[in-house]
Amino acid sequence: MATYELNPVLVTAQRSVTKDMETPAAIEVLHADDLQKTGATSVQEALKFSTGIITHGQGPRNISQGTMTSKAVIRGVEKGTLVLVDGVPINQGGRYNLEDIPVESIDRVEVVRGGGAVLYGSEANGGVINIITKGKRANMVKAGFGNYGIQNYAASFQAGKLGFTAAYDHTGKIDHISAPTETTSKRSGAPRGLYYNIKRGEHANFNARYDFNDDLYVTHTYGRNSDHYVYKYTGIDNPANAGKEYKNVIHSTEENLTALHYTKNNFSANAFYNRRDQETKNASAKINTKKPENFDPSPSSISHDKTSYLDQTIGINFQNRWDFHKGSFMLGYEFQRDMQDKTINKGTSVTGKFYDRNVHSLFGQVAYDFTQATQANLNFRQTWTEADDAGNKYDKFTPEFVLMHHFDENTMVYGKVGQSFMLPTFTQLYGGGNIHGVPGLKPEKGIHYELGAKKSIGKNAYRVALYSYKIEDFIDANTKKWPDITYQNSDVKNTGIEIDWTRNQNENLSYRLGLTYSHPQKQEGKIDKHGVETKGEWHDYYGKLGFNAGIDYTRGKLTTAFNISYLGDRIRDDEPYASMKSQVFSDLNFSYKANENARFFLNIDNLFNRHDIISSSTSSFYNLGRNFMAGVEYKF
One-letter amino acid for residue 606 of the chain: N
25-63 burial: b if 16+ Cβ within 10 Å, else e = bbbbbbbbebbbbbbbbbbbbbbbbbbbbbbbbbbbbbb
Whole-angstrom Cα distance, residue 577 to residue 629? 37
Whole-angstrom Cα distance, residue 50 to residue 46? 8
Residue 75 located in a structural domain:
no
Q: DSSP letters of 448-517?
A: EEEEEEEEEETTEEEEEEEEEEEEEEEEEEE-TTTTSEEEEEEEEEEEEEEEEEEEEEETTEEEEEEEEE
Q: DSSP letters of 199-244?
A: EEEEEEEEEEEEESSSSEEEEEEEEEEEEEEEEEE--SS-GGGTT-
Torsion angle defined by CA atoms of residues 484, 487, 490 and 492, in that order, rounded to the nearest 10 degrees:
80
Which pLDDT score, from 0 to 100, does residue 527 have?
62
DSSP-derived letter for residue 286 is B
pLDDT band at 2 (very low <50, low <70, confident <90, very high): very low
Question: Is it the case that residue 5 has pLDDT exceeding 50?
Answer: no
- Helix/strand/coil for 313: strand
Which pLDDT score, from 0 to 100, does residue 501 have?
97
Residue 44 located in a structural domain:
no
Residue 121 burial by CB count (10 A; 0-12/13-18/19+): exposed, middle or buried?
buried
Number of structural domains in the chain: 1
Cβ neighbours of 170 (radius 10 Å): 17
Cβ neighbours of 287 (radius 10 Å): 19
pLDDT band at 78 (very low <50, low <70, confident <90, very high): confident
Which pLDDT score, from 0 to 100, does residue 351 have?
66
Mean pLDDT for all residues in the chain: 91
Least confident of 1-15, 502-516, 582-596: 1-15
Distance of CA 161 to the CA centre of its chain: 31
DSSP-derived letter for residue 138 is P
Question: Is it the case that residue 531 has pLDDT exceeding 70?
Answer: no
Which pLDDT score, from 0 to 100, does residue 347 have?
58
Whole-angstrom Cα distance, residue 196 to residue 65? 11
pLDDT in tens, 412-456: 999 999 999 999 988 888 876 667 788 888 999 999 999 999 999
Residue 62 located in a structural domain:
no
**Residue of 262, 258, 257 whose CA lies nearest to 217:** 262
Gyration radius of the chain over CA positions: 24
One-letter amino acid for residue 452 of the chain: G
Residue 508 located in a structural domain:
yes
Distance of CA 556 to the CA centre of its chain: 36
Torsion angle defined by CA atoms of residues 457, 54, 111 and 511, in that order, rounded to the nearest 10 degrees:
30
Which pLDDT score, from 0 to 100, does residue 19 have?
85
Cβ neighbours of 96 (radius 10 Å): 26
Question: Is it the case that residue 632 has pLDDT exceeding 90?
Answer: yes
Whole-angstrom Cα distance, residue 165 to residue 67? 26
Which pLDDT score, from 0 to 100, does residue 530 have?
62
Least confident of 62-66, 375-379, 519-523: 62-66
Which pLDDT score, from 0 to 100, does residue 399 have?
96
Least confident of 160-174, 187-201, 316-330, 412-426: 187-201
DSSP-derived letter for residue 118 is H
Which pLDDT score, from 0 to 100, does residue 346 have?
62
Residue 161 located in a structural domain:
yes
Which pLDDT score, from 0 to 100, does residue 597 have?
97
pLDDT in tens, 619-628: 899 999 999 9
Which pLDDT score, from 0 to 100, does residue 348 have?
54
User: How many separate helices (H) and strands (E) can be counted in the chain?
Assistant: 4, 35
Phi-psi region of 53 (alpha: psi -120 to 50; beta: other; left: phi over 0): beta
Whole-angstrom Cα distance, residue 571 to residue 580? 6
Query: How many alpha carbons lie under 13 Å from residue 443 in its C-beta half-sphere?
Result: 19
**Residue of 304, 394, 299 whose CA lies nearest to 345:** 304
Question: Is it the case that residue 613 has pLDDT exceeding 90?
Answer: yes
Let me know: does 397 contact 364? Beta carbons within 8 Å. no
Instruction: For residue 423, give its domain range.
Output: 138-635
Cα separations in angstroms, 22 against 110, 403, 487: 15, 11, 40
Which residues fall within 8 angstroms of residue 103, CB to CB, at 6 or more apart? 32, 35, 36, 40, 41, 42, 43, 46
Which residues fall within 8 angstroms of residue 15, CB to CB, at 6 or more apart? 119, 120, 319, 330, 332, 365
Q: Is the peptide bond before 576 cis (omega within 30 degrees of 0)?
A: yes
> What's the CA angle centered on 97, arms 96 and 101, to 5 degrees?
115
Dmax (CA) of the chain: 81
DSSP-derived letter for residue 57 is -
CATH number of the domain enclosing 371? 2.40.170.20
Question: Is it the case that residue 63 has pLDDT exceeding 60?
Answer: yes
Query: How many alpha carbons lie under 13 Å from residue 400 in its C-beta half-sphere?
Result: 33
User: What's the average model confidence in pLDDT over 91-115?
Assistant: 90
Whole-angstrom Cα distance, residue 51 to residue 53? 6
Residue 71 located in a structural domain:
no
One-letter amino acid for residue 518 of the chain: S
User: What's the average model confidence in pLDDT over 49-63?
Assistant: 87
User: What's the average model confidence in pLDDT over 534-546?
Assistant: 90
pLDDT in tens, 386-421: 988 778 899 999 999 999 999 999 999 999 999 999
Whole-angstrom Cα distance, residue 486 to residue 432? 10
Question: Is it the case that residue 109 has pLDDT exceeding 60?
Answer: yes
> What's the CA angle centered on 399, arms 395 and 400, to 5 degrees?
150
Residue 116 located in a structural domain:
no
Residue 5 located in a structural domain:
no
User: What's the average model confidence in pLDDT over 118-129?
Assistant: 88
Which pLDDT score, from 0 to 100, does residue 4 have?
38
pLDDT in tens, 254-289: 999 999 999 999 999 999 999 999 999 999 999 888
